Amino acid sequence: MKLVYWMFTVSILSSLILALLLGTGTRIEIWVGMIGPLASTIISWIAIERQSIKHPEALTGLMIKSFAAKMIFFAAYITVLLKTGLVRPNPFVVSFISYFILLHGMEAIGLHRLQVTANSAPSRVLQEHFKNG
């Protein structure tokens, strides 16, 4: 859950700073470009953490399903926002791509840490066993 708080905090603070620096004309595009990637990475990270605790062997299957769901969600999200004219395309696309890369990069780092922790746990148990045995 610590990663979720970092994702949320980094996204909100950076969007506030960008909105202040770039002015009122791009605030909506910045926020809307951030909300979609933020929501998808938080939802998928919570599911990944829960799955890794309950059934770590099924984590790959969950990640494949998550990837497919994200493709469908993002296709619909971007299409609706751009076709309805709710946002201007250029600032929205820049914001969306920036947050998509940032947040999925954070998720990848979290996955790496999760994997390293999971792989090192059995070796620690064995080390303790042989040390005390």
pLDDT in tens, 4-13: 999 999 999 9
For residue range 29-75, what is the model confidence (pLDDT) as tens digits? 999 999 999 999 999 999 999 999 899 889 999 999 999 999 999 99
Q: What is the reported pLDDT for 116?
A: 84
- CA dist list (Å): 91 to 21, 37, 116, 124: 14, 15, 37, 49
Looking at residue 126, what is its pLDDT? 47
In the chain, where the domains are located: 2-122
pLDDT score of 8: 96
Flag whether pLDDT at 115 surpasses 90. Answer: no
- The mean pLDDT of the chain is 89
Q: How far apart are CA 37 and CA 19, in angstroms?
A: 17
* DSSP category for residue 25: G
How confident is the model at residue 130, as a pLDDT?
A: 54
Phi, psi angles (nearest 5°) of residue 23: 95, 180
Q: Quick one: pLDDT at residue 92?
A: 95
